[in-house]
C-alpha cells in the first residue's frame, strides 16, 4: 500500500518521471504506471507480444509509433482490421489526413467528398488513389500464385512499400506477421471482390491465417498482449492465447465499459474466467482513449528500456 501524493511540476521533468508521479495520484493514473511496468516486464522476460488495434488508430498519428515498436523488436505479431491496412498503404504513398472537428456538418462533408473518423477526415480521392495502387499490386502477386493467406498477402504488400513509418513495411522486414481476420470489412475487401471477378481462382484463405495464428506460439512460450480497443482484433489474439495456455502479460486499453458484456469492454479479469489470461498473469485494464494513454505508456516504457540498455 502507498499514500496518495500530489503531482508537481519541476523544471526538466522527464516523461518517465511524470508517469511515475502519476502512479501516486489515484484513479486511472495508477493503472497508467502499472501499464508501463507490464510493458517493460514483457520485454525483460522475452515474451512474444501481440499488438492489437482497430483501424481508427492507424488513421491517427499512432500509426508511426506502432511501426517504430515493430522496428525496435517490442512487437512480434500484429492483429488489426482492414482499415489499418488501407490507411497504412495510403499514408505510405503520401496521403495526408486532416484534423477537423467532432462537431462538423456531416451532410456538408459528404457533399465535399470528405469522410469523418471522429475528428479526422479522409477524402474520397484518397480511396480512389488507393484503388489505383492496390490493383497493380494484386496483379503482381497473382502472377506468382492464386491462393494466399492474408498474412502472406500483407507481408508481400509490405515489401512493396518504401515508407519506414509504415506498419506493413516494418512488419515485413522484421518477420512480424500481420493478421487481419476481417480483411473484407472495408474498401480493400471490395477491391479483392472485384479482382476475384476477373480471376475466379484468386483466393484469400482466412482459415490458413487462423492456422498460422494458433501455431505461432506454444504452451512453452511466455506470451504478452497489448490490446488497444476491442472487437475482432482483440478477440483473435486472446483466442490464440487460450489455445496455447493463456497470456502471461496483458494490457487492455479501451473506452468501452465492462458492463456492456462486449469484447471491447471486457477486462483482463473477465478473461481469466475463459483461461485466455493465466490466473497469475501480470495484467492491467485501463479505461481511456488510446491517442492519449498509449503514447504515454509506450514512450515512458521505451525511455526506461533505453536507459537500461534493453533496446
Cell numbers given for 82: 482492414
Give the integer Cα–Cα distance in Å for 123 and 95. 9
CA 182 to chain centre: 14
Nearest to 42 by CA among 242, 248, 293: 248
Give the gyration radius of the chain's Cα atoms. 20
The catalytic residue among 91, 234, 272, 276 is: 276
Give the integer Cα–Cα distance in Å for 162 and 158. 8
Quick one: DSSP state of residue 97? P
DSSP 33-88: HHHHHHHHHHHHTT-EEEEEE-HHHHHTTTHHHHHHHHHTT--SEEEE-HHHHHHH
Known catalytic residue: 276? yes
Give the integer Cα–Cα distance in Å for 254 and 262. 11
- Residues with catalytic roles: 276
Amino acid at each position: 500500500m502507498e499514500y496518495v501524493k500530489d503531482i508537481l511540476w519541476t523544471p526538466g521533468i522527464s516523461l518517465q518521471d511524470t508517469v511515475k508521479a502519476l502512479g501516486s495520484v489515484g484513479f486511472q493514473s495508477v493503472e497508467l504506471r502499472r501499464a508501463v511496468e507490464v510493458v517493460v516486464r514483457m520485454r525483460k522476460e522475452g515474451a512474444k507480444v501481440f499488438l492489437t488495434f482497430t483501424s481508427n488508430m492507424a488513421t491517427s498519428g499512432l500509426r508511426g509509433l506502432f511501426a517504430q515498436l515493430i522496428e525496435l523488436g517490442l512487437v512480434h505479431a500484429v492483429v488489426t482490421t482492414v482499415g489499418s491496412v488501407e490507411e497504412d498503404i495510403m499514408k505510405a504513398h503520401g496521403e495526408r489526413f486532416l484534423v477537423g472537428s467532432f462537431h462538423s456538418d456531416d451532410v456538408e462533408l459528404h457533399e465535399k467528398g470528405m469522410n469523418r473518423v471522429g475528428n479526422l477526415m479522409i477524402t474520397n480521392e484518397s480511396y480512389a488513389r488507393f484503388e489505383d495502387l492496390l490493383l497493380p499490386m494484386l496483379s503482381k502477386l497473382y502472377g506468382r500464385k492464386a491462393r494466399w493467406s492474408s498474412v502472406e498477402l500483407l507481408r508481400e504488400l509490405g515489401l512493396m512499400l518504401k515508407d519506414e513509418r509504415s506498419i506493413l513495411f516494418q512488419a515485413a522486414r522484421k518477420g512480424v506477421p500481420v493478421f487481419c481476420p476481417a480483411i473484407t470489412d472495408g474498401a480493400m475487401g471490395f477491391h479483392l471482390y472485384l479482382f476475384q471477378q476477373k480471376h475466379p481462382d484468386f483466393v484469400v484463405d482466412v482459415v490458413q491465417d487462423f492456422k498460422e495464428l494458433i501455431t505461432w506460439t506454444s504452451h512453452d512460450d511466455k506470451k504478452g498482449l497489448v490490446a488497444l480497443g476491442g472487437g475482432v482484433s482483440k478477440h483473435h489474439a486472446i483466442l490464440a492465447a487460450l489455445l496455447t495456455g493463456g497470456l502471461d502479460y496483458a494490457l487492455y486499453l479501451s473506452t468501452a465499459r465492462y458492463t456492456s458484456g462486449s469484447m471491447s469492454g471486457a477486462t483482463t479479469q473477465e478473461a481469466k474466467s475463459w483461461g485466455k489470461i493465466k490466473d497469475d498473469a501480470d495484467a492491467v485494464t485501463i479505461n481511456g482513449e488510446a491517442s492519449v494513454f498509449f503514447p504515454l505508456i509506450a514512450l515512458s516504457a521505451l525511455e526506461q528500456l533505453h536507459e537500461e540498455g534493453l533496446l
